[in-house]
Amino acid sequence: MVTHASAQMTAGRLPLVVGNWKMNGTRVTSVELLAALRSAGPFDAEVSVCCPFPYLVDVALSLQGSGIAWGAQDCSQHEPGAYTGEVAASMLAEFGCRHVIVGHSERRTHHAESDTLVADKARQALAHGLTPIVCVGETRAERDAGSTEAVVKRQMSAVIHALGHCVSQIVVAYEPIWAIGTGLTATPQQAQALHAVLRAQLAAASTRAGEMRLLYGGSVNAANAAELFAQVDIDGALVGGASLKEADFSAICRAASHAALGSTGKSRT
């Protein structure tokens, strides 16, 4: 029998925990939060913080040399040019960003971002050395209608079509929209079922799908993280509200570290 830990060690998937601050924080509270996070580490999982654009300098200075990565919550699908209010992937790269979130449900909903647009943003991120964290997920109505799998596969298909074999270089975050900020969470079994669907879809496009990290997002907290990370295809989390509280976020990072070490006590790196 292959355990979760041994299966992921074979694939070389180090867990990844990403904090999505959304439009929260001040310069003072952000620096204080990062100082506390540094003190809580180091972690045996990869950790990254995606902050609002104005705080990138502070975050970069605060986290430099800490082993914790940083990134942004969106980028433009365009190269630099006459696009007022937009931020290019190349600009994010200048600030040392490792990750950028694209296709978050709040962008899809509030800014009418299409599957194609999200795919174009992912392609732009890769072109400038960033790792896009591509979000997919269904609404409550879509789940109730039994169309969850079709919706998520459609969203993922656009990215696969745009990136081709380079799709193996992205991170995917499955975030059921009905669970984001609601306190509701997909059961570990529900989350695993969708992650398995996504990995199978990616495997049809890339021989490296087994190495790709698939994250779960949607009211992840210190209480449910360990059980979610115990699922064979869940390789970490995209964390919203809990990432604004050092104690909660650190606990999630420690849960990912425990998953990384596994029952053998050896790291998956």
CATH number at 104 reads: 3.20.20.70
**From 104, 113, 246, 258, the catalytic residue:** 104
Is there a domain that residue 255 lies in? yes
The number of beta carbons lying within 10 Å of the beta carbon of residue 54 is: 10
Half-sphere exposure of 103 (CA within 13 A, CB side): 31
Is there a domain that residue 120 lies in? yes
Instruction: Tell me which residue range forms the domain holding 25.
Output: 4-261
Task: State how many domains the chain has.
Answer: 1
Task: Give catalytic status of residue 138 as yes or no.
Answer: no
Is there a domain that residue 268 lies in? no
| Packing angle, helices 246-261 and 4-11, rounded to 10 | 80
Task: Give catalytic status of residue 111 as yes or no.
Answer: no
The span from the CA of 30 to the CA of 250, in Å, is: 15
Is there a domain that residue 36 lies in? yes
**From 46, 138, 142, 175, the catalytic residue:** 175
Contact 221, 248 (CB under 8 A): yes
Is there a domain that residue 11 lies in? yes
Q: What is the pLDDT along the chain (269 residues), one digit of tens a residue?
A: 333 443 444 467 999 999 999 999 999 999 999 999 999 999 999 999 999 999 999 999 999 999 999 999 999 999 999 999 999 999 999 999 999 999 999 999 999 999 999 999 999 999 999 999 999 999 999 999 999 999 999 999 999 999 999 999 999 999 999 888 788 778 999 999 999 999 999 999 999 999 999 999 988 999 999 999 999 999 999 999 999 999 999 999 999 999 988 733 334 43
Contact 12, 46 (CB under 8 A): no
How is 119-172 classified by DSSP, letter by letter? HHHHHHHHHTT-EEEEEE---HHHHHTT-HHHHHHHHHHHHHHHHGGGGGGSEE
Contact 198, 215 (CB under 8 A): no
Is there a domain that residue 147 lies in? yes
Is there a domain that residue 151 lies in? yes
Is there a domain that residue 143 lies in? yes
